[in-house]
Structure 1
């Protein structure tokens, strides 16, 4: 690191909670550097920016404190307080979710998204892997793509996912979804698909994570400032935003065919709806 970056590192090592308490400008002032240098420091460590760096610090350093106040701060974020009114909670949540979508839009590589969409549209078989909340996103994407004619499958159980990954090939695509990019099951499934010859894609918040480093291409779904635990719904909204963009570009590749399939499937279930 440069001398200026080492000053920031010294501050963080001396006081690991500093990024949780200080804005980017305040941290720069304490280290005697500039906010731009803090941003470069975060990127050198593999984070897209200061927001993601703060989330990483909170995740790595905060869980060992047993105090109620500190536990709340780490799990729920310093912007929310146990005594906040419902209106305060609503506004903080709205702000967090909007920030996550804007941050994702700012860092999303549309050239990479388009390349992935073309691979999906041409694939003989698509696997989408994820666990926990990320599996919900994987299954949602599988449902959407299947309705427009993509041979898509979603896997949350590692045994079933590994079995499917083992029969992939050069004409297939596999996507792994993990906010942290460190979920072992998702990494293992995507790695097996890659060894089988599939084109692999990671959707994660951390470009330096094992999942992102493994994949042929990675798409960033950014998370907001630490309003809530990093696994909260704002992270899922970011993932869903990336998946929405990807889905629509896939549908554009055969718009008339996709529209016809959506209409046919809608007609098939129309009788299951109650009248007004």
Structure 2
């Protein structure tokens, strides 16, 4: 990534996705930069180093580790990213906020996550994921906590068009599932951080047994991403109170909604037929509107 070829909207997301590869001290330097309200093309290397309590050489080293040619290239990219209208969308909640301000901040955080996720979405990985899900014999989804809820939502969508998937949110059940998968099967691991041990181990075991694996995560350099054959990556900016998980979930659900549509498209007639059947099956459980 350099200041002449980058997609400005993707600068922040790509830096955030690299954060798991940084040491705590290196991450502190990046956090220092993004916390500066007056960061501009005039901000000196010395100022960053002094504010972060590190050497100028370390700042340069970190910018290169993030994929930039050097500090100047990094400064230009970040400054242009910060100038975007969406850059002001991410604001921390305050005890003095009105209800209207709270609603706006929460919605804008999600909007920002969607815009930035779209800017970094790997379309090759997207198409590969759709092909694997469509062609698999067995589809096992792994997730815990909030990620398990995403897995269930996705499984529900696929069942509507006759694409069956099993969801596992228990560590032992994940490993038992992975032990039984083989070539032609697929395991999908959902983890916001990409560091959830249970999900990583499940994907690793499934892969050793010949199954294809997909990771759905917020960090494409995470341990989960490295364990997967295909990575679908969301991106969401964190904050102390609002966190990044909620916005990332919105982004991940949208990615999987698009995958669902792509899978349905691969056999549209079958998907349409199964959708009619499943909708008819639950129709009696809905209260019809009065005529």
TM-score bin (small chain): 0.7 to 0.9
Unaligned runs of 5+ in 2: 1-22, 49-59, 69-76, 79-89
Partner-residue secondary structure (3-state), 2:281: helix
Match of 1:252 among 262, 265, 288: 265
Task: Find the residue that maps to 2:214 and give its secondary structure.
Answer: strand
Q: Rate the CA distance shift 1:210–1:14 in 2: closer, same or farther, 3 A.
A: closer
- Please give the alpha-carbon distance, in whole angstroms, between the structure 2 residues aligned to 1:188 and 1:137: 19
TM-score by length of 1: 0.76
Aligned to 1:214: 227
Give the deviation of 1:163 after TM superposition.
0.6
Hey, what's the Cα distance between the residues in 2 that align with 1:256 and 1:166?
A: 34
- Classify the secondary structure of the residue corresponding to 2:155: helix
Deviation string 1:178-231 (CA, Å, 9 cap, x unpaired) is 111001111111111111111011111111100001111111111135372122
Shift of 1:43: 3.1
Backbone CA RMSD of aligned residues: 3.0
Contact (CA 8 Å) 1:170, 1:197: kept in 2 or not?
Answer: yes
Say if 2:162 and 2:275, in contact at 8 Å, map to a contact too.
Answer: no
Aligned pair partner of 2:35 in 15, 18, 21: 21
Q: Aligned partners of 1:42 and 1:80: how far apart in 2?
A: 32
Instruction: Measure the CA separation in 2 of the matches of 1:14 and 1:168.
Output: 41
2:252 equivalent to 1:229: no
1:163 paired with 2:186, answer no
Task: Tell me if structure 1 keeps the 8 A contact 2:160–2:279.
Answer: no
> Which blocks of at least 5 consecutive residues in structure 1 are unaligned?
1-8, 51-76
CA distance in 1, matches of 2:228, 2:182: 15
1:153 to 166, 171, 175: 166
- Decide whether the 8 Å contact of 1:28 with 1:38 is kept in 2: no
> For this pair of structures, how many residues does the alignment match?
235
**CA shift digits 1:8-51 (9 cap, x unpaired):** x9x968868624522594598153699xx899557349xxx97x
